Amino acid sequence: MEEMNELIEQRFRKLGELQELGIDPYNGRFQPGMSAAGIKEKYGTVSKEGLEAEEFSASVAGRVVAMRDFGKASFAHIQDATGKIQIYLKKDVLGNKHALVKKLDIGDIIGISGRVFRTKTEELTIEVRDIVLLSKSLRPLPEKWHGLKDIEIRYRQRYVDLIVNPEVKEVFARRSAIIKAIRDFLESRGFIEVETPMMHQIPGGAAARPFMTHHNALDIDLYLRIAPELYLKRLLVGGYERVFELNKNFRNEGISTKHNPEFTMLEFYMAYKDYTYLMSFTEEIFSFVADKVLGTLKVPYGDAVIDLTPPWPRIPMREALKQKGVPDEIIGDPERAKEWARSMKLDVPTGASHAKVLDEIFKEFVEPGLVQPTFIVDYPVELSPLAKRKPDAPELVERFELFIASREIANAFSELNDPIDQKGRFMKQVEAKKQGDEEAHWMDEDFIRALEYGMPPAAGEGIGIDRLVMLLTNSPSIRDVVLFPQLKPEQ
């Protein structure tokens, strides 16, 4: 820490010296003519002799990331958004401006223009003829940043992480490409993108604890949305037949490698379709995005290679439990299921329903083995208060969850459009909330009213964008794919 303080003090001294020289460290004006990558692309195939035979000039701006001082001359590398390029700073070429070179530090942002040439080692370089200081860096860049044991420092200071680790920048460039590919896919199939409220009077659309705030003018409590579902389905009532929203949700839950309280979700709804159609449609989306972004359907993730080639297995939830050795009598008997789950050291609340106990058993014994893409279908109605019942098994609903790399990545169902059934399920959720279930759904009378006007049969789906990006960038933690993840307060 003392060494760091001394380095910072040195830079502050240089700041004062620059000002004495009449150089404003933060008020430079410079318009780069090219990028580092553009210069390499344009002149990369020109020989050393070819560059010497004709005067090729270039201008570029970027951050100094390496520097070697040889007294009257210096070599440096500057880095912009496209990469790095070497520059050559010579006293007899720069004249009075060479005084600025002596005050430069790694991390400073400069603009330069000059002649393109090749060094003795054939490295494409710019001999600087004009230089402008655009921003003085007062903190030195870390020498050993990528291997930090406390990785939270990298997440907390993402701005430094992006400077020193090009592969991190590439992750977020790929994230942008993934989101664009999703939008392209949906829009090409007749969907329109919409925006629904972020603040709800009644939090709904998912089983989760909301964040609460207060609106002073109306003197009412409001909740950051946990899902846009109920508003998007109101749009189906209003006559839209294919809508999607790609935006933030907020859930007041724990932080882990798979969870961030603020996360990005795609939700889309299509009239006159059901959950069986959505499974094939989901395979299309994932295949399209992977091929567009990666050029392959075989995606490396950790120690596995995920094969996104359709079709994917479709396994009923109870069958998946049986395949992992959960006895039939456990699946069918609520009390025995609780006893068995507790004997397996699972955290089962006293008032938990049979369906919730089975869900906990599923998460513990089935989910870790779902590495390749797998649809788990036909969930208990208690776990799915917004989904349509199966006609031949009304205790189950027409729902699937998609699991890839041992985690849920999508959730979908045939939408319940029966207002009487929906109101009855909301009432059961209200009772569960009274019994202590903080994640139970609230009663939404306006949504019931909307259904009473008539909602067409429809299918809807939510896809976790952050988890999809994790998969397609081979990232082990959600914090690797969120630019500024939520962290505990800095001490």
Distance CA 404, CA 250 (A): 23
Strand, coil or helix: 6: helix
CB atoms within 10 A of CB 375: 23
Element (H or E) spanning 209, and its range? Answer: none
Distance CA 402, CA 375 (A): 5
Distance CA 464, CA 175 (A): 12
The answer to whether 242 and 270 have CB atoms below 8 angstroms apart is yes
C-alpha R_g of the chain: 29
The answer to whether 65 and 73 have CB atoms below 8 angstroms apart is no
The answer to whether 461 and 182 have CB atoms below 8 angstroms apart is no
Place of tokens 């009274």: 434
- Angle, nearest 10°, between helix axes 166-188 and 275-294? 140
Q: In what order do the strands lie in the sheet with 212-215?
A: 199-200, 220-224, 212-215
Binding-site positions for Mg(2+) read 401, 408
Tokens representing 311?
Answer: 């079709």
Distance CA 33, CA 237 (A): 53
Distance CA 428, CA 434 (A): 10
Binding-site positions read 401, 408
The answer to whether 344 and 337 have CB atoms below 8 angstroms apart is no
Residue type, 412: A
Place of tokens 């205790």: 395
Distance CA 34, CA 261 (A): 40
The answer to whether 324 and 331 have CB atoms below 8 angstroms apart is no
The answer to whether 61 and 111 have CB atoms below 8 angstroms apart is yes
CA proximity to 206, closest of 337, 385, 86, 369:
385
Burial (Cβ within 10 Å: 0-12, 13-18, ≥19) of residue 270: buried
According to DSSP, the residues that pair with 300 across neighbouring strands are: 305
